[in-house]
Chains A and B, each alone.
Chain A
Protein backbone atom coordinates (compact mmCIF):
# COMPACT_ATOMS: atom_id res chain seq x y z
CA UNK A 1 0.00 0.00 0.00
CA UNK A 2 1.12 3.54 -0.59
CA UNK A 3 1.84 4.96 2.86
CA UNK A 4 -0.33 7.87 3.90
CA UNK A 5 1.71 10.78 5.23
CA UNK A 6 0.90 14.10 6.80
CA UNK A 7 -1.06 16.55 4.67
CA UNK A 8 -2.49 13.75 2.56
CA UNK A 9 0.84 12.98 0.86
CA UNK A 10 1.54 9.48 -0.33
CA UNK A 11 4.88 7.68 -0.29
CA UNK A 12 5.81 4.98 -2.78
CA UNK A 13 7.78 1.76 -2.78
CA UNK A 14 10.23 2.76 -5.46
CA UNK A 15 11.55 -0.04 -7.64
CA UNK A 16 13.91 0.52 -10.57
CA UNK A 17 11.20 0.03 -13.21
CA UNK A 18 8.88 2.43 -11.38
CA UNK A 19 11.59 5.09 -11.21
CA UNK A 20 12.31 4.59 -14.91
CA UNK A 21 8.68 5.20 -15.87
CA UNK A 22 8.27 8.11 -13.45
CA UNK A 23 11.30 9.90 -14.93
CA UNK A 24 9.51 10.06 -18.26
CA UNK A 25 6.09 10.78 -16.75
CA UNK A 26 7.31 13.57 -14.50
CA UNK A 27 9.42 15.19 -17.23
CA UNK A 28 6.38 15.32 -19.51
CA UNK A 29 4.13 16.54 -16.68
CA UNK A 30 6.34 19.38 -15.45
CA UNK A 31 7.17 20.55 -18.98
CA UNK A 32 3.44 20.60 -19.80
CA UNK A 33 2.85 22.57 -16.59
CA UNK A 34 5.42 25.19 -17.63
CA UNK A 35 4.09 25.40 -21.21
CA UNK A 36 0.58 26.01 -19.84
CA UNK A 37 1.88 29.31 -18.43
CA UNK A 38 2.00 30.65 -22.00
CA UNK A 39 -1.71 30.16 -22.65
CA UNK A 40 -3.17 33.62 -23.29
CA UNK A 41 0.23 35.32 -23.30
CA UNK A 42 1.90 34.13 -26.50
CA UNK A 43 3.62 36.51 -28.92
CA UNK A 44 1.13 35.61 -31.66
CA UNK A 45 -2.34 34.13 -31.36
CA UNK A 46 -1.53 31.23 -33.71
CA UNK A 47 1.59 30.32 -31.76
CA UNK A 48 -0.40 30.49 -28.50
CA UNK A 49 -2.59 27.72 -29.93
CA UNK A 50 0.46 25.75 -31.11
CA UNK A 51 2.13 25.91 -27.67
CA UNK A 52 -1.06 24.77 -25.97
CA UNK A 53 -1.29 21.83 -28.41
CA UNK A 54 2.20 20.84 -27.35
CA UNK A 55 1.23 21.14 -23.68
CA UNK A 56 -1.82 18.95 -24.30
CA UNK A 57 0.27 16.31 -26.09
CA UNK A 58 2.75 16.20 -23.21
CA UNK A 59 0.00 16.14 -20.61
CA UNK A 60 -1.53 13.19 -22.46
CA UNK A 61 1.78 11.38 -22.41
CA UNK A 62 2.19 12.16 -18.69
CA UNK A 63 -1.28 10.81 -17.92
CA UNK A 64 -0.66 7.57 -19.84
CA UNK A 65 2.68 7.06 -18.12
CA UNK A 66 1.39 7.95 -14.64
CA UNK A 67 -1.54 5.59 -15.08
CA UNK A 68 0.89 2.86 -16.08
CA UNK A 69 3.15 3.69 -13.11
CA UNK A 70 0.13 3.42 -10.84
CA UNK A 71 -0.67 -0.03 -12.27
CA UNK A 72 2.92 -1.14 -11.75
CA UNK A 73 2.84 0.03 -8.15
CA UNK A 74 -0.61 -1.45 -7.47
CA UNK A 75 0.49 -4.76 -9.02
CA UNK A 76 3.36 -5.15 -6.61
CA UNK A 77 2.08 -3.32 -3.53
CA UNK A 78 -1.66 -3.73 -3.84
CA UNK A 79 -3.91 -0.71 -3.49
CA UNK A 80 -5.65 1.54 -5.97
CA UNK A 81 -3.31 4.39 -6.82
CA UNK A 82 -4.22 6.46 -9.86
CA UNK A 83 -2.68 9.19 -12.07
CA UNK A 84 -4.06 12.00 -9.92
CA UNK A 85 -2.76 10.67 -6.63
CA UNK A 86 0.66 10.37 -8.20
CA UNK A 87 0.54 13.89 -9.65
CA UNK A 88 -1.05 15.67 -6.69
CA UNK A 89 -0.01 13.82 -3.55
CA UNK A 90 3.64 12.85 -3.99
CA UNK A 91 6.19 14.95 -2.17
CA UNK A 92 8.97 16.65 -4.07
CA UNK A 93 11.65 14.04 -3.35
CA UNK A 94 9.51 11.40 -5.11
CA UNK A 95 9.36 13.29 -8.41
CA UNK A 96 12.01 12.21 -10.93
CA UNK A 97 11.82 14.66 -13.83
CA UNK A 98 14.83 16.18 -15.58
CA UNK A 99 15.74 19.38 -13.74
CA UNK A 100 15.74 21.17 -17.11
CA UNK A 101 11.94 21.34 -17.17
CA UNK A 102 11.75 23.15 -13.83
CA UNK A 103 13.63 26.18 -15.11
CA UNK A 104 11.52 29.31 -15.69
CA UNK A 105 9.95 29.55 -19.10
CA UNK A 106 7.92 32.73 -19.05
CA UNK A 107 6.74 34.12 -15.76
CA UNK A 108 9.05 35.88 -13.37
CA UNK A 109 8.52 35.29 -9.71
CA UNK A 110 9.75 37.04 -6.60
CA UNK A 111 12.41 34.36 -6.44
CA UNK A 112 13.66 34.02 -9.99
CA UNK A 113 13.71 35.99 -13.22
CA UNK A 114 11.52 34.51 -15.92
CA UNK A 115 12.50 32.98 -19.21
CA UNK A 116 11.37 34.12 -22.62
CA UNK A 117 10.23 32.71 -25.95
CA UNK A 118 13.81 31.82 -26.86
CA UNK A 119 14.10 29.66 -23.73
CA UNK A 120 10.79 28.08 -24.68
CA UNK A 121 11.53 27.09 -28.27
CA UNK A 122 15.04 25.94 -27.43
CA UNK A 123 13.86 23.77 -24.55
CA UNK A 124 10.98 22.41 -26.66
CA UNK A 125 13.48 21.46 -29.37
CA UNK A 126 16.07 19.86 -27.08
CA UNK A 127 13.39 17.94 -25.17
CA UNK A 128 11.42 16.82 -28.23
CA UNK A 129 14.61 15.50 -29.81
CA UNK A 130 15.36 13.62 -26.58
CA UNK A 131 11.81 12.29 -26.22
CA UNK A 132 11.80 11.12 -29.83
CA UNK A 133 14.93 9.05 -29.14
CA UNK A 134 13.33 7.69 -25.96
CA UNK A 135 10.08 6.71 -27.71
CA UNK A 136 11.96 5.09 -30.57
CA UNK A 137 14.02 3.13 -28.04
CA UNK A 138 10.81 2.06 -26.26
CA UNK A 139 9.32 0.66 -29.45
CA UNK A 140 11.04 -2.62 -28.57
CA UNK A 141 10.30 -2.52 -24.84
CA UNK A 142 9.39 -5.77 -23.10
CA UNK A 143 6.57 -3.76 -21.47
CA UNK A 144 3.58 -3.89 -23.83
CA UNK A 145 1.95 -0.81 -22.34
CA UNK A 146 5.11 1.27 -22.76
CA UNK A 147 5.37 0.14 -26.37
CA UNK A 148 1.82 1.38 -27.00
CA UNK A 149 2.42 4.73 -25.32
CA UNK A 150 5.67 5.18 -27.26
CA UNK A 151 4.05 4.40 -30.62
CA UNK A 152 1.63 7.28 -30.21
CA UNK A 153 4.04 9.66 -28.50
CA UNK A 154 6.79 9.40 -31.12
CA UNK A 155 4.51 11.04 -33.71
CA UNK A 156 3.86 13.92 -31.33
CA UNK A 157 7.57 14.29 -30.55
CA UNK A 158 8.37 14.44 -34.28
CA UNK A 159 5.96 17.31 -34.79
CA UNK A 160 7.21 19.16 -31.69
CA UNK A 161 10.78 18.73 -32.89
CA UNK A 162 9.97 20.12 -36.34
CA UNK A 163 7.95 23.09 -35.07
CA UNK A 164 10.40 24.02 -32.32
CA UNK A 165 13.46 23.38 -34.49
CA UNK A 166 12.12 25.73 -37.17
CA UNK A 167 11.67 28.40 -34.49
CA UNK A 168 15.23 27.89 -33.21
CA UNK A 169 16.49 28.60 -36.74
CA UNK A 170 14.17 31.61 -37.14
CA UNK A 171 15.44 33.16 -33.92
CA UNK A 172 19.07 32.15 -34.40
CA UNK A 173 19.20 33.58 -37.92
CA UNK A 174 16.68 36.38 -37.41
CA UNK A 175 17.55 39.74 -35.89
CA UNK A 176 20.57 40.60 -33.70
CA UNK A 177 18.22 40.73 -30.73
CA UNK A 178 16.69 37.30 -31.34
CA UNK A 179 20.16 35.81 -31.85
CA UNK A 180 21.37 37.36 -28.60
CA UNK A 181 18.37 36.03 -26.68
CA UNK A 182 18.73 32.55 -28.16
CA UNK A 183 22.41 32.41 -27.27
CA UNK A 184 21.57 33.46 -23.70
CA UNK A 185 18.88 30.77 -23.57
CA UNK A 186 21.41 28.18 -24.79
CA UNK A 187 23.89 29.17 -22.09
CA UNK A 188 21.15 28.68 -19.49
CA UNK A 189 19.81 25.38 -20.84
CA UNK A 190 22.90 23.48 -21.98
CA UNK A 191 24.30 22.53 -18.55
CA UNK A 192 20.97 20.83 -17.77
CA UNK A 193 21.20 18.58 -20.84
CA UNK A 194 23.96 16.48 -19.29
CA UNK A 195 21.34 14.87 -17.06
CA UNK A 196 19.49 13.63 -20.17
CA UNK A 197 22.39 11.18 -20.76
CA UNK A 198 23.60 10.36 -17.27
CA UNK A 199 23.48 6.74 -16.12
CA UNK A 200 22.73 4.87 -12.93
CA UNK A 201 21.45 1.53 -11.66
CA UNK A 202 17.94 2.36 -12.89
CA UNK A 203 19.21 2.80 -16.46
CA UNK A 204 21.33 -0.36 -16.22
CA UNK A 205 18.37 -2.41 -15.01
CA UNK A 206 16.08 -1.03 -17.73
CA UNK A 207 18.62 -1.74 -20.43
CA UNK A 208 19.45 -5.25 -19.26
CA UNK A 209 15.81 -6.31 -18.76
CA UNK A 210 14.70 -4.79 -22.05
CA UNK A 211 12.35 -2.36 -20.33
CA UNK A 212 13.88 0.56 -22.23
CA UNK A 213 17.06 2.29 -23.37
CA UNK A 214 19.66 3.62 -20.94
CA UNK A 215 19.89 7.40 -21.20
CA UNK A 216 23.55 7.32 -22.25
CA UNK A 217 22.66 5.34 -25.41
CA UNK A 218 20.55 8.23 -26.67
CA UNK A 219 23.30 10.81 -26.82
CA UNK A 220 24.79 10.11 -30.24
CA UNK A 221 21.55 10.43 -32.21
CA UNK A 222 20.41 13.37 -30.11
CA UNK A 223 23.61 15.35 -30.61
CA UNK A 224 23.69 14.88 -34.35
CA UNK A 225 20.05 16.01 -34.73
CA UNK A 226 20.71 18.98 -32.47
CA UNK A 227 23.71 19.95 -34.59
CA UNK A 228 21.58 19.79 -37.75
CA UNK A 229 19.40 22.57 -36.37
CA UNK A 230 22.12 24.50 -34.52
CA UNK A 231 24.07 24.97 -37.77
CA UNK A 232 21.46 27.03 -39.65
CA UNK A 233 20.55 28.66 -36.33
CA UNK A 234 24.16 29.85 -36.10
CA UNK A 235 24.52 28.30 -32.65
CA UNK A 236 27.67 26.61 -31.41
CA UNK A 237 27.44 23.36 -29.50
CA UNK A 238 28.65 24.48 -26.07
CA UNK A 239 31.48 22.67 -24.32
CA UNK A 240 30.51 20.19 -21.63
CA UNK A 241 31.10 21.16 -18.02
CA UNK A 242 31.14 19.11 -14.82
CA UNK A 243 27.66 20.42 -13.91
CA UNK A 244 25.16 17.60 -13.46
CA UNK A 245 21.61 18.27 -12.28
CA UNK A 246 19.88 15.65 -10.15
CA UNK A 247 16.13 15.90 -10.61
CA UNK A 248 16.06 12.30 -11.83
CA UNK A 249 17.41 11.36 -8.40
CA UNK A 250 14.61 13.29 -6.63
CA UNK A 251 16.87 16.21 -5.70
CA UNK A 252 15.48 19.24 -7.52
CA UNK A 253 16.21 22.90 -8.19
CA UNK A 254 14.62 25.60 -6.04
CA UNK A 255 11.91 26.08 -8.68
CA UNK A 256 10.32 22.69 -8.09
CA UNK A 257 8.81 23.63 -4.73
CA UNK A 258 6.93 26.53 -6.26
CA UNK A 259 5.76 24.45 -9.24
CA UNK A 260 4.38 21.71 -6.99
CA UNK A 261 2.79 24.20 -4.59
CA UNK A 262 0.77 25.57 -7.51
CA UNK A 263 0.07 22.23 -9.15
CA UNK A 264 -1.01 20.41 -5.99
CA UNK A 265 -2.71 23.22 -4.06
CA UNK A 266 -6.36 22.35 -4.63
CA UNK A 267 -6.12 18.67 -3.76
CA UNK A 268 -4.24 19.59 -0.59
CA UNK A 269 -6.83 22.26 0.25
CA UNK A 270 -9.81 19.95 -0.31
CA UNK A 271 -8.80 16.52 1.01
CA UNK A 272 -11.19 13.84 -0.18
CA UNK A 273 -12.64 16.18 -2.80
CA UNK A 274 -14.34 14.95 -5.96
CA UNK A 275 -13.76 16.84 -9.18
Chain B
Protein backbone atom coordinates (compact mmCIF):
# COMPACT_ATOMS: atom_id res chain seq x y z
CA UNK B 1 0.00 0.00 0.00
CA UNK B 2 1.45 3.38 -0.97
CA UNK B 3 1.94 5.87 1.82
CA UNK B 4 -0.73 8.53 1.80
CA UNK B 5 0.68 11.67 0.27
CA UNK B 6 -0.92 14.55 2.09
CA UNK B 7 0.96 17.81 2.00
CA UNK B 8 -0.76 20.60 3.79
CA UNK B 9 1.06 23.33 1.91
CA UNK B 10 -0.76 22.26 -1.27
CA UNK B 11 -4.16 22.22 0.46
CA UNK B 12 -6.83 24.19 -1.35
CA UNK B 13 -7.90 27.29 0.60
CA UNK B 14 -11.16 27.42 2.55
CA UNK B 15 -14.04 29.60 1.36
CA UNK B 16 -17.19 30.65 3.21
CA UNK B 17 -20.41 30.33 1.21
CA UNK B 18 -23.41 32.67 1.34
CA UNK B 19 -26.63 31.83 -0.50
CA UNK B 20 -29.56 34.09 -1.29
CA UNK B 21 -32.61 31.78 -1.08
CA UNK B 22 -34.79 33.94 -3.29
CA UNK B 23 -35.03 37.43 -4.72
CA UNK B 24 -35.66 40.00 -2.02
CA UNK B 25 -33.93 38.11 0.78
CA UNK B 26 -30.40 38.55 2.15
CA UNK B 27 -27.51 36.22 1.45
CA UNK B 28 -27.19 33.84 4.40
CA UNK B 29 -24.05 32.01 5.52
CA UNK B 30 -24.59 28.31 4.96
CA UNK B 31 -21.19 26.69 5.27
CA UNK B 32 -17.75 26.40 3.76
CA UNK B 33 -15.84 24.41 1.14
CA UNK B 34 -12.36 24.04 -0.32
CA UNK B 35 -11.58 25.31 -3.82
CA UNK B 36 -8.42 26.22 -5.69
CA UNK B 37 -9.72 29.50 -7.14
CA UNK B 38 -12.73 31.81 -7.07
CA UNK B 39 -14.37 30.49 -10.24
CA UNK B 40 -14.22 26.93 -8.94
CA UNK B 41 -15.46 28.08 -5.52
CA UNK B 42 -18.59 29.60 -7.03
CA UNK B 43 -19.32 26.53 -9.16
CA UNK B 44 -18.74 24.11 -6.29
CA UNK B 45 -20.88 26.25 -3.98
CA UNK B 46 -23.67 25.88 -6.51
CA UNK B 47 -23.12 22.10 -6.68
CA UNK B 48 -22.78 21.54 -2.93
CA UNK B 49 -25.19 24.06 -1.39
CA UNK B 50 -28.01 24.62 -3.89
CA UNK B 51 -28.95 21.09 -5.05
CA UNK B 52 -32.40 21.39 -3.53
CA UNK B 53 -33.13 24.72 -5.17
CA UNK B 54 -32.02 26.52 -2.06
CA UNK B 55 -30.71 29.56 -3.89
CA UNK B 56 -30.76 32.11 -6.69
CA UNK B 57 -27.41 33.71 -5.91
CA UNK B 58 -24.17 32.57 -4.34
CA UNK B 59 -21.30 34.55 -2.77
CA UNK B 60 -17.97 33.01 -1.84
CA UNK B 61 -15.35 34.69 0.32
CA UNK B 62 -11.94 33.35 1.30
CA UNK B 63 -12.24 32.48 5.01
CA UNK B 64 -8.96 34.32 5.62
CA UNK B 65 -10.58 37.54 4.34
CA UNK B 66 -13.27 37.54 7.00
CA UNK B 67 -12.75 39.82 9.98
CA UNK B 68 -14.82 38.84 13.00
CA UNK B 69 -15.52 40.55 16.29
CA UNK B 70 -13.59 39.01 19.14
CA UNK B 71 -15.88 37.04 21.48
CA UNK B 72 -13.71 38.26 24.34
CA UNK B 73 -14.90 41.76 23.47
CA UNK B 74 -18.52 40.62 23.50
CA UNK B 75 -19.32 42.64 26.63
CA UNK B 76 -17.69 45.76 25.23
CA UNK B 77 -19.27 45.50 21.79
CA UNK B 78 -22.73 44.20 22.49
CA UNK B 79 -23.79 44.60 26.13
CA UNK B 80 -24.25 48.39 25.99
CA UNK B 81 -27.03 47.76 23.43
CA UNK B 82 -29.09 46.02 26.09
CA UNK B 83 -29.80 49.13 28.15
CA UNK B 84 -30.32 51.64 25.31
CA UNK B 85 -33.96 50.80 25.49
CA UNK B 86 -35.06 54.05 23.81
CA UNK B 87 -34.06 52.54 20.39
CA UNK B 88 -36.95 50.09 20.73
CA UNK B 89 -40.42 51.18 19.71
CA UNK B 90 -42.01 49.55 22.77
CA UNK B 91 -40.31 52.13 25.02
CA UNK B 92 -42.80 54.79 24.00
CA UNK B 93 -46.32 54.68 25.48
CA UNK B 94 -48.84 56.14 23.14
CA UNK B 95 -52.61 56.61 23.39
CA UNK B 96 -54.51 53.46 22.41
CA UNK B 97 -55.85 55.23 19.34
CA UNK B 98 -52.30 55.15 17.91
CA UNK B 99 -51.72 51.46 18.64
CA UNK B 100 -51.02 50.59 15.03
CA UNK B 101 -47.94 52.84 14.83
- Chain A residues in the interface with B (C-beta under 8 A): 44-47, 49-50, 53, 162-163, 166, 170
Contacts of A45 in B (CB 8 A): 34
Query: In whole angstroms, how far apart are the Cα atoms of A223 and B12 in the complex?
Result: 33
- Chain B residues in the interface with A (C-beta under 8 A): 12, 33-36, 39-40, 43-44, 47-48, 51
A166 touches B47 (CB 8 A): no
B51 touches A50 (CB 8 A): no
Most buried by B among A46, A163, A166: A46
Within 8 Å by CB of A44, from B34, B39, B43, B51, lies B34
Name the 6 nearest CB pairs between A and B, nearest first: A46-B44, A50-B47, A53-B47, A49-B47, A163-B43, A46-B33
User: For chains A and B in complex, what number of residue pairs have CB atoms within 8 angstroms?
Assistant: 25
Most buried by A among B12, B39, B47, B48: B47
Q: With both chains docked as a complex, state the minimum distance between the C-beta of A210 and any C-beta of chain B, in angstroms.
A: 34
Query: In whole angstroms, how far apart are the Cα atoms of A212 and B78 in the complex?
Result: 65
9 of the cross-chain contacts (CB-CB < 8 Å) are A46-B33, A46-B34, A46-B47, A46-B48, A50-B43, A53-B51, A163-B43, A166-B40, A170-B40
Q: Given the interface contacts A44-B12, A163-B43, does A49 sit within 8 Å of B48 by beta carbon?
A: yes
Contacts of A162 in B (CB 8 A): 43
With CB as the reference atom, state the residue of chain B lying closest to A50: B47
Contacts of B36 in A (CB 8 A): 170
Contacts of B39 in A (CB 8 A): 166
Contacts of A163 in B (CB 8 A): 43
A166 touches B48 (CB 8 A): no
Q: With both chains docked as a complex, state the minimum distance between the C-beta of A51 and any C-beta of chain B, in angstroms.
A: 9
Query: In whole angstroms, how far apart are the Cα atoms of A47 and B43 in the complex?
Result: 10
Query: In whole angstroms, how far apart are the Cα atoms of A46 and B36 in the complex?
Result: 11
With CB as the reference atom, state the residue of chain B lying closest to A51: B47
Q: With both chains docked as a complex, state the minimum distance between the C-beta of B40 and any C-beta of chain A, in angstroms.
A: 7
With CB as the reference atom, state the residue of chain B lying closest to A170: B36
Q: With both chains docked as a complex, state the minimum distance between the C-beta of B2 and any C-beta of chain A, in angstroms.
A: 15
With CB as the reference atom, state the residue of chain B lying closest to A174: B36
Contacts of B48 in A (CB 8 A): 46, 49
Query: In whole angstroms, how far apart are the Cα atoms of A263 and B75 in the complex?
Result: 62
Contacts of A47 in B (CB 8 A): 44
